[in-house]
C-alpha cells in the first residue's frame, strides 16, 4: 500500500522552491490520513482533505482565468489543480504549452477514461501540444499484463481517443517501450532518485521488482517528455490517485535544473519558514523610513513582535551574526548542477546591481519571473534541460453504476466504450440512484442528485456541453419534480445513442490509427 502524504519541505509558503528541492512525499500520518495509491483503490472519501493533506488547490479559484473552460471544469468535475495558472496564462496569451496523459491498457476503455480523453483533446483544441501514451512498461511490470493483451487493449484505447477528436497529425501518440528518447530521459532522471525515496512515496519494499521501480522513473520521463524540444508549461490531467507521480516529477524537474531561483533578504541562507519571518521584518521596518534596514534591527523586531518558534529563533540568530549588514529583498540564483562555464555565464548575464558568492548570485533588480527566464536561457545554452515544473488538474472519480467505485473488473459497475449500445442501455436502467424509497417521498423531499451515479452520467458525459440541460436535471431531481424511473430511462436512451455514435466513429478512424506513427504489434517476448 502506498504511504504518501504531503510534505512542505523544500517549498516556500507561496509555493516557491527552496534552496534544496526535497521529495513531496512524506510518511504515513495516521489512520485518518488520506492515502493516494497509483496502483490501488481509486476512491477518495473527502476531496476537501486533498487540499489540506496534499496541497492540491481548488480549481474554482482559477476558473475565471481559463479561456473557454471545458464543461468538466465548469461543473466542478475537475475540482483541483497544482500550478495550473501558468498553463492558463500561456493559453490566454498564445504562448506554447502542452498536455499529456497516459493510459495503462489493462482492460477495455470505459466512460471513466473518457474524462481524461476529453481533457487531452480540449487542451489540444485550445492550441496546446497534445501527447497521449500507452503505459505498456507499467502495465507489464506493475500489473503483469502480457504483451498480446497490452497490444489489444492499446488499440482500443487509441481508437476511442481518436474517435472523440484527438488529432494525431497535430499531436503525438507513443508507447513507452518504443520511445528511445523517453527511455534515455528516464535514465537521466533516475540519477536524481533513489530507492528510499520510492519506498517512502510508493511503499516499495524488498519484494518490489526492479522493473516496477524502473516503470516509475519512466513515468517521470513521460511527464517531462513534452519539454524535451522546448521548455514550456505542461499539464497532466489525472485522477487524484496519480498525484504522487506528479509531485515526484516536479521534484525531479527541480533537481535537474542548473540553477534554483528563490527570494532572499541577506547574504546568509534561509529556509522557507525563515524567509517568511524575514519578509515580515523587512516589511514592518522599511514601511516608514528611507534608511537601510539592518539585520540586527530585524532581529530585535522579530524577538519583540513575533511569537516564539523554531524558525524565528534560527533566523534571529543569523540576523544577529550578520550585524549591520543591510536587509534587502533580492532574487537569488543558487548553483545546483551548473558547470563552471554555465555559472560564469550566469554571472555575466545578470545585469544591474548584484553580488556574487561562491555558490550563488544575488540580483537586486531582477524580478523572480525574469530571473527564472534568465536562468533557463543560460541552462539551455549550456546543454541543460531547463524544465518548467509540470502542472496538473484533477477530476473526480466516477461512482460505479452499482454504487461504490467504478471498476474495470466489475462489468456491471461501468460502461465500456466497447459495450453494445443495448447493453449500455440496460446497465443504466439497472443502475443505483440517489432517489428516495417511494415516489411520494421523492416528490416531498427531492432526490439526492449529489449521491446519484445516474446524475453523474448526465454531468460527466450525457449532457455534453449543455450546462442548462445538466442544471435542469439536477434542479428537477432535488426539487422532487423528476422521478428516478423517468430519469434513468432518459439517461439510458442517451447512453445508447452515445455508444452507437462513438462506435461508428471508432470504425471511421481505423485508417487514421493505422497511419499514425505508433506500433501496436509488439515484438517483445509473449509472456
Read off the DSSP letter of residue 476: H
Distance CA 452, CA 68 (A): 28
The pLDDT, as a whole number, for residue 145 is 87
For residues 139 and 106, is the Cβ–Cβ distance under 8 A? yes
User: Does one domain contain both 347 and 464?
Assistant: no
Domain boundaries, position 362: 260-381
Whichever domain contains 58, its CATH number is: 3.40.50.620
For residues 362 and 264, is the Cβ–Cβ distance under 8 A? yes
- 55-78 pLDDT, tens digit each: 789 999 999 999 999 999 999 999
The pLDDT, as a whole number, for residue 13 is 32
pLDDT reading at 114 higher than 60: yes
Look at residue 8 and tell me if it is in a domain: no
Look at residue 252 and tell me if it is in a domain: yes
Q: At what angle do helices 210-224 and 243-256 cross, to 10 degrees?
A: 70
Look at residue 12 and tell me if it is in a domain: no
Look at residue 76 and tell me if it is in a domain: yes
- Cα dihedral 192, 195, 198, 202, rounded to 10, equals 170
The pLDDT, as a whole number, for residue 53 is 65
User: Does one domain contain both 168 and 282?
Assistant: no
- Cα dihedral 120, 61, 254, 268, rounded to 10, equals 170
Look at residue 98 and tell me if it is in a domain: yes
Query: What are the Cα distances from residue 2, in Å, to 205, 243, 245, 288, 338?
Result: 11, 12, 12, 52, 34
pLDDT reading at 219 higher than 70: yes
User: Does one domain contain both 251 and 267?
Assistant: no
Q: In what order do the strands lie in the sheet with 259-264?
A: 259-264, 330-335, 360-363, 354-356
Whichever domain contains 497, its CATH number is: 1.10.240.10
Look at residue 527 and tell me if it is in a domain: no
pLDDT reading at 407 higher than 60: yes
Look at residue 522 and tell me if it is in a domain: no
Number of domains in the chain: 3
237 half-sphere exposure, CB direction, 13 A CA radius: 31
> 3-class DSSP state for residue 380?
helix
**For the residues 243-263, what does the mean pLDDT come to?**
94
pLDDT reading at 474 higher than 90: yes
User: Does one domain contain both 230 and 291?
Assistant: no
**For the residues 34-56, what does the mean pLDDT come to?**
55
The pLDDT, as a whole number, for residue 495 is 97
Percent with pLDDT over 70 in the chain? 89
Look at residue 39 and tell me if it is in a domain: no
For residues 234 and 227, is the Cβ–Cβ distance under 8 A? yes
86-90, 200-204, 278-282: the lowest-pLDDT one: 200-204
The pLDDT, as a whole number, for residue 16 is 46
pLDDT reading at 184 higher than 60: yes
Looking at per-residue confidence, does 240 or 120 come out higher?
120
User: Does one domain contain both 315 and 418?
Assistant: no
From 111, 119, 43, select the one nearest 87 (Cα to Cα).
119
User: Does one domain contain both 152 and 232?
Assistant: yes
Beta carbons within 10 angstroms of residue 246's beta carbon: 27
The pLDDT, as a whole number, for residue 26 is 29
Distance CA 270, CA 34 (A): 31
Looking at per-residue confidence, does 196 or 295 come out higher?
295
For residues 104 and 42, is the Cβ–Cβ distance under 8 A? no
**For the residues 248-263, what does the mean pLDDT come to?**
95
Give the pLDDT band of residue 45 (cuts 50, 70, 90).
Answer: low
User: Does one domain contain both 73 and 176?
Assistant: yes
User: Does one domain contain both 247 and 305?
Assistant: no
User: Does one domain contain both 264 and 210?
Assistant: no
- Cα dihedral 229, 81, 85, 192, rounded to 10, equals -40
User: Does one domain contain both 282 and 242?
Assistant: no
For residues 283 and 265, is the Cβ–Cβ distance under 8 A? no
User: Does one domain contain both 243 and 287?
Assistant: no
User: Does one domain contain both 307 and 330?
Assistant: yes
The pLDDT, as a whole number, for residue 46 is 59
Amino acid at each position: 500500500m502506498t504511504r504518501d502524504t504531503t510534505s512542505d519541505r523544500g517549498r516556500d509558503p507561496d509555493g516557491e522552491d527552496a534552496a534544496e528541492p526535497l521529495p513531496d512525499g512524506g510518511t504515513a500520518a495516521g489512520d485518518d490520513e488520506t492515502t493516494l495509491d497509483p496502483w490501488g483503490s481509486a476512491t477518495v472519501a473527502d476531496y476537501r482533505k486533498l487540499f489540506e493533506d496534499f496541497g492540491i488547490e481548488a480549481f474554482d479559484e482559477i476558473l475565471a482565468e481559463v479561456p473557454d473552460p471545458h464543461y468538466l471544469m465548469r461543473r466542478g468535475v475537475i475540482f483541483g489543480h497544482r500550478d495550473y495558472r501558468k498553463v492558463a496564462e500561456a493559453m490566454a496569451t498564445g504562448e506554447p504549452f502542452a498536455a499529456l496523459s497516459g493510459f495503462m491498457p489493462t482492460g477495455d476503455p470505459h466512460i471513466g477514461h473518457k474524462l481524461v480523453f476529453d481533457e487531452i483533446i480540449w487542451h489540444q483544441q485550445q492550441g496546446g501540444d497534445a501527447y497521449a501514451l500507452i503505459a505498456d512498461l507499467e502495465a507489464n511490470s506493475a500489473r503483469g499484463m502480457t504483451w498480446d493483451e497490452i497490444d489489444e487493449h492499446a488499440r482500443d484505447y487509441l481508437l476511442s481517443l481518436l474517435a472523440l477528436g484527438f488529432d494525431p497529425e497535430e499531436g503525438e501518440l507513443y508507447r513507452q517501450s518504443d520511445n528511445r528518447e523517453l527511455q534515455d530521459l528516464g535514465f537521466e532522471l533516475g540519477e536524481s532518485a533513489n530507492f528510499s525515496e520510492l519506498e517512502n512515496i510508493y511503499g516499495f519494499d524488498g519484494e518490489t521488482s526492479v522493473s516496477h521501480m524502473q516503470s516509475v522513473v519512466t513515468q517521470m520521463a513521460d511527464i517531462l517528455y513534452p519539454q524535451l524540444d522546448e521548455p514550456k508549461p505542461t499539464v497532466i490531467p489525472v485522477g487524484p490517485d496519480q498525484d504522487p507521480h506528479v509531485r515526484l516529477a516536479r521534484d525531479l524537474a527541480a533537481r535537474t535544473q542548473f540553477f534554483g531561483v528563490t527570494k532572499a533578504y541577506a547574504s546568509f541562507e534561509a529556509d522557507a519558514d525563515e524567509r517568511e519571518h524575514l519578509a515580515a521584518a523587512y516589511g514592518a521596518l522599511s514601511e516608514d523610513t528611507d534608511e537601510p534596514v539592518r539585520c540586527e534591527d530585524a532581529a530585535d523586531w522579530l524577538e519583540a513582535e513575533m511569537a516564539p518558534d523554531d524558525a524565528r529563533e534560527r533566523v534571529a540568530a543569523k540576523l544577529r551574526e550578520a550585524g549591520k549588514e543591510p536587509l534587502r529583498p533580492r532574487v537569488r540564483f543558487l548553483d545546483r548542477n551548473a558547470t563552471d562555464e554555465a555559472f560564469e555565464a550566469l554571472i555575466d548575464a545578470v545585469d544591474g546591481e548584484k553580488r556574487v558568492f561562491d555558490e550563488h548570485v544575488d540580483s537586486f533588480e531582477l524580478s523572480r519571473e525574469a530571473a527564472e527566464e534568465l536562468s533557463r536561457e543560460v541552462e539551455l545554452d549550456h546543454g541543460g534541460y531547463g524544465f518548467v515544473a509540470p502542472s496538473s488538474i484533477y477530476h473526480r472519480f466516477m461512482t460505479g453504476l452499482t454504487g461504490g467505485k467504478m471498476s474495470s473488473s466489475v462489468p456491471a459497475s461501468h460502461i465500456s466504450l466497447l459495450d453494445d449500445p443495448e447493453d449500455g442501455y440496460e446497465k443504466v436502467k439497472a443502475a443505483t440512484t440517489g432517489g428516495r424509497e417511494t415516489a411520494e417521498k421523492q416528490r416531498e423531499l427531492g432526490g439526492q442528485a449529489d449521491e446519484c451515479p445516474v446524475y453523474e452520467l448526465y454531468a460527466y458525459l450525457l449532457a455534453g456541453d449543455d450546462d442548462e440541460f445538466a442544471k435542469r436535471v439536477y434542479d428537477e431531481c432535488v426539487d422532487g419534480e423528476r422521478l428516478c424511473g423517468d430519469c434513468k430511462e432518459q439517461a439510458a436512451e442517451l447512453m445508447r445513442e452515445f455508444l452507437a455514435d462513438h462506435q461508428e466513429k471508432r470504425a471511421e478512424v481505423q485508417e487514421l490509427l493505422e497511419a499514425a506513427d505508433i506500433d501496436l504489434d509488439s515484438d517483445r517476448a509473449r509472456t
